[in-house]
Amino acid sequence: MKKIEAIIRGEKLNEVRKALLEADIPGITVYEVRGKGNQKGLELQFRGRPYNVDLLPKTKIELMVSDKNSEKVVELIKETAHTGNVGDGKIMILPMDDLIKIRTGESGDYAI
Amino acid sequence: MKKIEAIIRGEKLNEVRKALLEADIPGITVYEVRGKGNQKGLELQFRGRPYNVDLLPKTKIELMVSDKNSEKVVELIKETAHTGNVGDGKIMILPMDDLIKIRTGESGDYAI
Amino acid sequence: MKKIEAIIRGEKLNEVRKALLEADIPGITVYEVRGKGNQKGLELQFRGRPYNVDLLPKTKIELMVSDKNSEKVVELIKETAHTGNVGDGKIMILPMDDLIKIRTGESGDYAI
Amino acid sequence: MFQEVIMMKIISQLILVLTLSIMVAPIVLAADPAGDITLAEDSTAAVNFTWTLMAAFLVFLMQGGFAMLEGGLVRAKNTSNIMMKNLADFTIGSLGYWAIGFPLMFGTSVAGIYGVGSWFLLGEAYDVSTYLLWIFQMVFAGTAATIASGAMAERTKFRTYYIISFLITALIYPIYGHWVWGGGWLSMLGEWYGLGLGHVDFAGSGVVHMVGGGAGLAGAMLLGARIGKYDNEGKPRAIPGHSISMAVLGVFILWFGWFGFNPGSTLAATELRISIIAVTTLLAGSAGGFIATLYTWKKFGHPDVTMAGNGVIAGLVAITAPCAWVEAWAAVVIGLAAGLIMVESVLFFERKGIDDPIGAVSCHLIAGIWGLISVGIFADGTYGLYTTEGPFVTGLLYGGGTGQLVAQVIGVIANFAWVFGTTYVIFWTLKKTIGLRVSKEEEEEGLDKTEHGAICYPDFTAPLEESKKLENYEPKKQEMK
Amino acid sequence: MFQEVIMMKIISQLILVLTLSIMVAPIVLAADPAGDITLAEDSTAAVNFTWTLMAAFLVFLMQGGFAMLEGGLVRAKNTSNIMMKNLADFTIGSLGYWAIGFPLMFGTSVAGIYGVGSWFLLGEAYDVSTYLLWIFQMVFAGTAATIASGAMAERTKFRTYYIISFLITALIYPIYGHWVWGGGWLSMLGEWYGLGLGHVDFAGSGVVHMVGGGAGLAGAMLLGARIGKYDNEGKPRAIPGHSISMAVLGVFILWFGWFGFNPGSTLAATELRISIIAVTTLLAGSAGGFIATLYTWKKFGHPDVTMAGNGVIAGLVAITAPCAWVEAWAAVVIGLAAGLIMVESVLFFERKGIDDPIGAVSCHLIAGIWGLISVGIFADGTYGLYTTEGPFVTGLLYGGGTGQLVAQVIGVIANFAWVFGTTYVIFWTLKKTIGLRVSKEEEEEGLDKTEHGAICYPDFTAPLEESKKLENYEPKKQEMK
Amino acid sequence: MFQEVIMMKIISQLILVLTLSIMVAPIVLAADPAGDITLAEDSTAAVNFTWTLMAAFLVFLMQGGFAMLEGGLVRAKNTSNIMMKNLADFTIGSLGYWAIGFPLMFGTSVAGIYGVGSWFLLGEAYDVSTYLLWIFQMVFAGTAATIASGAMAERTKFRTYYIISFLITALIYPIYGHWVWGGGWLSMLGEWYGLGLGHVDFAGSGVVHMVGGGAGLAGAMLLGARIGKYDNEGKPRAIPGHSISMAVLGVFILWFGWFGFNPGSTLAATELRISIIAVTTLLAGSAGGFIATLYTWKKFGHPDVTMAGNGVIAGLVAITAPCAWVEAWAAVVIGLAAGLIMVESVLFFERKGIDDPIGAVSCHLIAGIWGLISVGIFADGTYGLYTTEGPFVTGLLYGGGTGQLVAQVIGVIANFAWVFGTTYVIFWTLKKTIGLRVSKEEEEEGLDKTEHGAICYPDFTAPLEESKKLENYEPKKQEMK
Ligand SMILES: Nc1ncnc2c1ncn2[C@@H]1O[C@H](COP(=O)(O)OP(=O)(O)O)[C@@H](O)[C@H]1O
Ligand SMILES: Nc1ncnc2c1ncn2[C@@H]1O[C@H](COP(=O)(O)OP(=O)(O)O)[C@@H](O)[C@H]1O
Ligand SMILES: Nc1ncnc2c1ncn2[C@@H]1O[C@H](COP(=O)(O)OP(=O)(O)O)[C@@H](O)[C@H]1O
């Protein structure tokens, strides 16, 4: 099993999800985060004073996938979250020791 | 050391925490997330137009535990977060290389 | 590659970031979380009734770093997030199997 | 679903039948619909109409004030619902008051119990003076129903509340109103039994506020407390409202509206007493808010914002009955007492297991009782019954003896018996039939979603509100004194 | 950037020139600037001034009501922008109405088409009665421009909207206003062609609301729908507004202001008919809100809060023309019809691809049309043209024949032709030159950031609003009936 | 804690003693408490009472407007606190004005410095005309204290502010008010030294707004800037307010209230000049908002919403003194100048290290100075001192010479010297004793938690507000011009 985490653009979430759903990967958990990398921040004003919000709103998705699905999922995210502009984000593939489904108590791949 | 992450129902948070506290596991970090798995989404309306919020509010908890506590914690979460209905969530057991307590600089199990 | 996660005080975020930027580590993702450890909760009132918010607002930062930078980053966070008072938080060093930069498709250390 | 359909059928058919019956007979049997005759007879009519209408408009705005105050004191997940209740009770209530409420209140008295007259403002009622009276009285009636919604917030079925608010405005309020303002038996206590000038209530501490508060009390009792309001040992817990700023805006709007409520009740600017009434209204509100600030500061360790707001409301409710019959200093004393009584009353009802999310019972029922009684104490004998001519209303302190005080107490008892009695029976019947309270699941989800399919703030999520605040609650060691 | 600079240059130079030209000639050519002559001639002036001014102040507050209603119904990311629009259209509009709008509307009529008179309230216009008329009419003019902003919300360039609102208040509104209230051709239809008393519109269902709604329709059509409003198959989707409580506050404030709008339009408290007007205004609003509640409950499965609010507005818009000429029961019927029409109209325009985020076209244009026509049906012949003296306005049901009805229909057509025509041309021209709509990126980012560099709620983030609500949208199986 | 207890003891004992001393002597020594004598003597009393009371009610609502404006411009973590301040300063202030403020201001003059008369509205003061004057003046006094709270927002100890606001309303405001409106020395400058008609200030640019702004300036200076307002090099940084929509609602409510403030200051509707005053009030507000929109657009690159709102306020403050003595065009010029001055003044004070979160000093003190001076320039000699009878107020442009202008300047200096001087001493004393400012930790936590134990929006978290906005701030390269 793997845990795939990806930081993507909020606008792309639905496209990514649609692709995943079509590939029969329904489970997902979504975080609202703020991030900074190469993309430059947002310049705002208040009463004429400029201020900079350099941590931009980003969406993080987290998926628990079986080893065999892992590559496919990464591929799908890579394709659908891609715009080619700075700020597209990253995908992490993380090891997972075990996974348990609370409802049924199943564990491992069965828990996904 | 392990990192235990669990996605649970918001309503269950306190029950889970109470059980953990009783088992002398006080440390916890909580995220507000939205997730989708088998549970169906929420149907809302605005001016008569229906719309579907399919990502449901969920609570994610994260615990750093010593290897010896790991199983107990998983067990406790499994029991207390359980309702038997779709949407109960998952528990992940993740490896951790090291842990440091910022206040004291202690690391490893001492940092928990 | 490593994934460094740290739970810190919100007030300390900027100091930490400044130190990281100076060390040429620009990438970061930030979460608003609530946590409980040894620090005691917040006591509030509503119409004279006291209530306790025991999960305190905390900031979690997440960094993907190359193995060689890993120690430096941990060190920097440890120093700058430190106040010496209860509630300073923790730093986790987590293994990562792979990392992909969505924009370019690069992976591994190149993706950071 | 079933009852809902039936109810809507009944209502819509009622409307249809009435509308048709009206449309076949567009006969103008009016008295003075253009107003030229009225003006010719009374050259002060223009200024008195101006005064009364402007006052009515201010009172109308109190609907918005209540919406803000109640909305701010409930949780975000029930805010659309409380907004809808405030809109709905006024829209249906005004139609009810137009259909039957007004003649029940101001028609020819039947044995001092209720009135009969032109339903639907038809025929004779098509007259500038009658319409003027109608609008001023209508906005008062609207207030009574709205008050009840606060005490019943966050758990009442919308459908049931809708029926309740109709019944309050069309039946319960007008009948009690008839007793005091429509020439009914309470107003005759003086003539019949020599008790002062009979039960008097200048602008409605009893007629409006006790009615709303009494209905709210019946509702809150039959509903039971909100989930999470009490811990396992039955100790009350805080359920913080979602926007203190919204609540405070509500207080200011209500106070503004009250300047229509009280001084406007002369229905005439030629009663220059209006300036006295405006001052007593302002000072009693200030005194109530002032003392609630100090008292909560001492008692809770912090000056409590929403309690200070409630203190203003309590002071205003209390001065509503005596506003025209007392001096400035008495208004301050009445307001100070109201503020103190209110704070203790909120804590009392909470301890007793009666869960009133916005303190409506304490602010309106309890402070209303004090207001009615205070007339019998502080009325200073300088002003009569909506006129500068005697007999004058005189209380205990000014040598009026106990007659007026007794009349006031009788009114308090009659009001509570009538309102609490009828609403308790009605709410109980509704509870047993279509149900009064939403299900546990609906309450937890929030009424916005389940009753209206719509959340109030979709751009801002508040998913953890419950767990964040209520649970993990550890009773404070040092209890409130 | 370029056009912006030019525009600002032009505007500021205009102001400069005017100011200078005024400053060199501070000659007082006034009529009665102190008011003593007016008062001496007419002892009722004081009460009529009081009435008219207070009414004007209430109408003024409607700006705040519109800001809240529109603000609540747009997304958080566009809220600063809609606030700015409501501030800006009034500030620039009032200067435009002061400069040229007022004389265009109420000056000496040129062939019944437009008026000429004292620009900038100079010279002769320095008179208590003229200033009184100006302020009452100004706040009406302000309302018209504000209405359009709602239909064009969430995608219009601020710069362009700024010009538009100036043109509506300074030109389009006053010219049409001249036709009806300034002695222009529509008001002469009676005298010239025997059509009732000519086209009549007591407080502006047409003059104000149809104008605002018509301009809004032209704008919404030329702008196109907001991104995400329609799915790939062209089916409308929900774009929830960010604060239902804010929208409901807006409704209550607007309703309050309407009591200045309608009864105030007598411009005299000595017309005691004001009490009738206040009652018809209240009841029509209630009826509109009531029926929208029931109808959406049936149609959507839930009583819809913002539609109930819109129902109130539709009822109020509809009664605005007939308010002084109908009885209470007719006001209820007019309000009920307006509420129903509004709900269907909102759904109709939405289906037709015209995206009007707050329902301004349905509430103001469509309900306004119904209001004008209803005069020709329900006017009961008890009141004349702002006077108790005949001839009286009489509709079909009261034996007035079809004359009045035809005059009303002609007015509807003329209004729509003029307003929709001119605004369409102007907006089209602006679209081709400086542009009407922000870019796709700006719209997605939100106008607050891109147009004002400022977000409305910086302490509360709402980053996922789009994805959270719009996408993943699966068309509900059971469609609305 | 200690001082708090003592302070509360003193206050409550004061109240107790006063109340008791009143209660033992309920003797009615009143003049005309019922109003029949007054009405018999003056048949216009009814319309003038109607006018003055309605105007007072509008002014009252400004409390709610200030609460919204100030609330919207502070951070979410300090919103309950600013709400409480707006409630508290009015409730305690009105009691202070009732106890001693009113006679100090309007009692028999002692050497033109202060007045003495009936404390607590007792005895002779129990009269419809006296009460009428009291309520109109009271709501003005309430405004002054509220203005100061804005400049001192987000860091002042509640306890200290509470005392301050009491002192402003009970002492500082009434004494200066006596000089101008109570027959004091400033009003005698004309009679004594031939300077125009003496220092004149129609509705209080000086008496109300300069007083509030001057006290706010003293407070802001003694408090020092909020943490984070300046970067390490002392350059100002943005601290965005938490709700622009709330601030804009505040602006509209304030503008609405201003129509009571200015026209109401005639205290008589028989002064038909009220229509002129209403128009100048509207136009100056519009002009101020208009120019602030354009000017910030040019200067900052975006039309700034809250600055546009402040522009309206500045225009209104400036026109408050001259409103009755100038024409429409002059009102526009005064408003335009006020808007420009305000924007520059906000930036100036910010640069100088004086941190005024809502721009109260610029809007009220600075625009107030301009307003007073503008009387000496633009007054056109068509209206006298609250009467249509001469002598008329005449400025430089209309051949009035420099007399009036000099009287205005003397008033400005006297006002600033008195208000800034006394408040500086008082605040300094409080700073050295009970403390003026909360601790660093409390300020960072937010005053809602530490002063009231209550957060304003518990359902919505805003934990990262600080770091999100302030830090990581990189000074914009292209600086403002
Ligand atoms: N080293 C990193 N550690 C943690 N998060 C990162 C890192 N680099 C980027 N991110 C996250 O990915 C987002 C996009 O990264 P950015 O560098 O702006 O664009 P791109 O990946 O296209 O170069 C950032 O906003 C941040 O949330
Ligand atoms: N494969 C997955 N990857 C990531 N998160 C998941 C996955 N499956 C479920 N979740 C999370 O767990 C929550 C509950 O899962 P769901 O499938 O609805 O219920 P259950 O676990 O009872 O079958 C989801 O809302 C989502 O947040
Ligand atoms: N065992 C744990 N598991 C998860 N999160 C923890 C744990 N211990 C602490 N935390 C997080 O770290 C934060 C600070 O911890 P705390 O114990 O209060 O202070 P300190 O680390 O200085 O002892 C907590 O609020 C919580 O978010």
Query: Does E341 have pLDDT greater than 50?
Result: yes
pLDDT in tens, D426-453: 999 999 999 999 999 999 889 999 999 8
Residue D427 belongs to a domain: yes
| SS3 label, residue D355 | coil
pLDDT in tens, F171-183: 999 999 999 999 9
Q: Is B94 near ligand 2, meaning CB less than 6 Å away? A: no
Counting one residue from chain B and one from chain E, the pairs whose CB atoms sit within 8 A come to: 52
Q: Do C14 and F452 touch (CB under 8 A)?
A: no
How many Å lie between the alpha carbon of C110 and the closest alpha carbon of chain F?
26
Residue nearest to atom 5 of ligand 3 (CA): B28
Q: Do F464 and C43 touch (CB under 8 A)?
A: no
Residue D20 belongs to a domain: no
Total-model pTM: 0.94
pLDDT in tens, D204-227: 999 999 999 999 999 999 999 999
Residue nearest to atom 17 of ligand 3 (CA): C37
Q: Do D464 and B59 touch (CB under 8 A)?
A: yes
Q: Which of B51, B54, B55 sits opposite E237 (nearest CB)?
A: B51
- Give residue B53's pLDDT band: very low, low, confident or very high (50, 70, 90): confident
Q: Do B30 and C34 touch (CB under 8 A)?
A: yes
Give the atom of ligand 1 at the shortest distance from the alpha carbon of A87: 19
- Give residue A14's pLDDT band: very low, low, confident or very high (50, 70, 90): confident
- Give residue D138's pLDDT band: very low, low, confident or very high (50, 70, 90): very high
pLDDT of residue B112: 87
pLDDT of residue D463: 42
Query: Does D481 have pLDDT greater than 60?
Result: no
Query: Does E476 have pLDDT greater than 80?
Result: no
Residue nearest to atom 17 of ligand 2 (CA): B37
Q: Which residues of E189-209 are buried (b: 16+ CB within 10 A; e: fewer)?
A: bbeeeebbbbbbbbbbbbbbb
Q: Do E458 and A44 touch (CB under 8 A)?
A: yes
pLDDT in tens, F293-341: 999 999 999 999 999 999 999 999 999 999 999 999 999 999 999 999 9
| A36 CB-near residues (< 8 Å, 6+ apart) | A54, A55, A56, C17, C26, C27, C28, C29
Residues E289/E311, Cβ–Cβ less than 8 Å? yes
Query: Does F362 have pLDDT greater than 80?
Result: yes
Query: Which residue of A29, A30, A93 sits with most ligand 2 atoms within 8 Å of its CB, as the best mutation to test the pocket?
Result: A29
Q: Is C36 near ligand 3, meaning CB less than 6 Å away? A: yes
Counting one residue from chain A and one from chain B, the pairs whose CB atoms sit within 8 A come to: 72
Query: Does E86 have pLDDT greater than 70?
Result: yes
For ligand 3, the distance from its centroid to the CA atom of residue D115, given in whole angstroms, is 70
A64 CB neighbours in chain B (<8 A) are: 90, 92
| Residue A28, beta-bridge partner list | B36
For ligand 2, the distance from its centroid to the CA atom of residue A78, given in whole angstroms, is 22
**Which of the residues B49, B52, B54, B56 would you substitute to probe the E interface, choosing the one with the greatest number of E C-beta atoms within 10 Å?**
B49
- Give residue C57's pLDDT band: very low, low, confident or very high (50, 70, 90): confident
Q: Percent of chain D scored above 70 by pLDDT?
A: 89
| SS3 label, residue E160 | helix
CA dihedral F126, F129, F130, F136 (to 10 degrees): 130
pLDDT of residue E464: 38
pLDDT in tens, F369-393: 999 999 999 999 999 999 999 899 9
Least confident of D457-466, F71-80, F117-126: D457-466
D480 CB neighbours in chain C (<8 A) are: 48
What ligand has the least distance to the C-alpha of A85?
A: 1
d(CA D202, CA D217): 23
- Give residue D471's pLDDT band: very low, low, confident or very high (50, 70, 90): very low
- Give residue B42's pLDDT band: very low, low, confident or very high (50, 70, 90): confident
E304 CB neighbours in chain D (<8 A) are: 452, 454
Q: Is B76 near ligand 3, meaning CB less than 6 Å away? A: no
pLDDT of residue F471: 42
Query: Does F472 have pLDDT greater than 50?
Result: no
Residue E359 belongs to a domain: yes
Query: Residue holding tokens 């909100």?
Result: D226
Element (H, E) at D449: helix D447-452
Residues D465/D75, Cβ–Cβ less than 8 Å? yes
Query: Does F161 have pLDDT greater than 80?
Result: yes
pLDDT of residue F27: 46
Neighbouring subunits of D (3+ Cβ pairs under 8 A): B, C, E, F
Query: Does D477 have pLDDT greater than 70?
Result: no
Q: Which of D239, D304, D473 sits opposite C48 (nearest CB)?
A: D304
Q: Do F464 and C11 touch (CB under 8 A)?
A: no
> Which CA distances in Å does E237 have to E231, E232, F207, F253?
7, 10, 55, 35
pLDDT in tens, D349-370: 999 999 999 999 999 999 999 9
Task: Supply the range of the domain harboring residue E239.
Answer: 36-452
The string of DSSP letters for E382-396 reads EEESSSSSSSEEE-G
Question: Could you tell me which residue, F244 or D479, shows the higher pLDDT?
Answer: F244
Nearest CA in chain E to B48: E300
Neighbouring subunits of E (3+ Cβ pairs under 8 A): A, B, D, F
Question: Could you tell me which residue, E436 or B10, shows the higher pLDDT?
Answer: E436
Residue E326 belongs to a domain: yes
* Arithmetic mean of pLDDT over chain E: 91
Average pLDDT over residues F156-177: 97
Query: Does E236 have pLDDT greater than 80?
Result: yes
How many Å lie between the alpha carbon of D460 and the closest alpha carbon of chain E?
6
pLDDT in tens, B62-108: 999 999 999 999 999 999 999 999 999 999 999 999 999 999 999 99
Query: Does D10 have pLDDT greater than 70?
Result: no
Give the atom of ligand 2 at the shortest distance from the alpha carbon of B37: 17
Q: Do C55 and D359 touch (CB under 8 A)?
A: no
Q: Do C74 and B100 touch (CB under 8 A)?
A: yes
Query: Does B43 have pLDDT greater than 90?
Result: no
Q: Which residues of E431-453 are buried (b: 16+ CB within 10 A; e: fewer)?
A: beebebbbeeeebeebbbbbbbb
Average pLDDT over residues E293-317: 97
CATH number at residue F277: 1.10.3430.10
**Which of the residues F91, F121, F160 would you substitute to probe the D interface, choosing the one with the greatest number of D C-beta atoms within 10 Å?**
F91
Residue B93 contacts C where some CB pair is shorter than 8 Å: no
For ligand 1, the distance from its centroid to the CA atom of residue C89, given in whole angstroms, is 23
d(CA E70, CA E66): 6
What stretches of F335-390 adopt beta strand conformation (E)? 380-384
pLDDT in tens, F101-136: 999 999 999 999 999 999 999 999 999 999 999 999
Q: Do A46 and F241 touch (CB under 8 A)?
A: yes
What stretches of F297-411 adopt beta strand conformation (E)? 380-384, 392-394
pLDDT of residue E19: 55
A50 CB neighbours in chain E (<8 A) are: 453
Q: Which of E120, E135, E452 sits opposite F282 (nearest CB)?
A: E135
- Show the DSSP H helices in D207-301 as ranges: 211-223, 244-261, 274-300
How many Å lie between the alpha carbon of A18 and the closest alpha carbon of chain C?
18
Supply D1's token pair: 């679903």
- Give residue E182's pLDDT band: very low, low, confident or very high (50, 70, 90): very high
Query: Does D376 have pLDDT greater than 90?
Result: yes
Question: Could you tell me which residue, E471 or F224, shows the higher pLDDT?
Answer: F224
- Give residue D18's pLDDT band: very low, low, confident or very high (50, 70, 90): low
* Arithmetic mean of pLDDT over chain C: 92
B34 CB neighbours in chain E (<8 A) are: 468
Average pLDDT over residues E247-252: 98
Query: Does E73 have pLDDT greater than 50?
Result: yes
| Residue E59, beta-bridge partner list | none
d(CA F188, CA F200): 10
- Give residue B45's pLDDT band: very low, low, confident or very high (50, 70, 90): confident
Query: Does F94 have pLDDT greater than 90?
Result: yes
pLDDT of residue D182: 96
Indicate the number of domains in chain F.
Answer: 1
pLDDT of residue D117: 94
How many Å lie between the alpha carbon of D43 and the closest alpha carbon of chain E?
9
For ligand 3, the distance from its centroid to the CA atom of residue C34, given in whole angstroms, is 10
* Arithmetic mean of pLDDT over chain D: 91
- Give residue E477's pLDDT band: very low, low, confident or very high (50, 70, 90): very low
Q: Is A35 near ligand 1, meaning CB less than 6 Å away? A: yes
E461 CB neighbours in chain A (<8 A) are: 32, 34, 57
| C24 CB-near residues (< 8 Å, 6+ apart) | none
pLDDT of residue C49: 87
- Whole-angstrom Cα Rg for chain E: 22
**Which of the residues A47, A51, A55 would you substitute to probe the F interface, choosing the one with the greatest number of F C-beta atoms within 10 Å?**
A47
**Other beta carbons within 10 Å of F191:** 10
Residue D359 belongs to a domain: yes
Q: Which of E299, E359, E472 sits opposite B52 (nearest CB)?
A: E472
Q: Which of A2, A33, A92 sits opposite C64 (nearest CB)?
A: A92
Neighbouring subunits of B (3+ Cβ pairs under 8 A): A, C, D, E
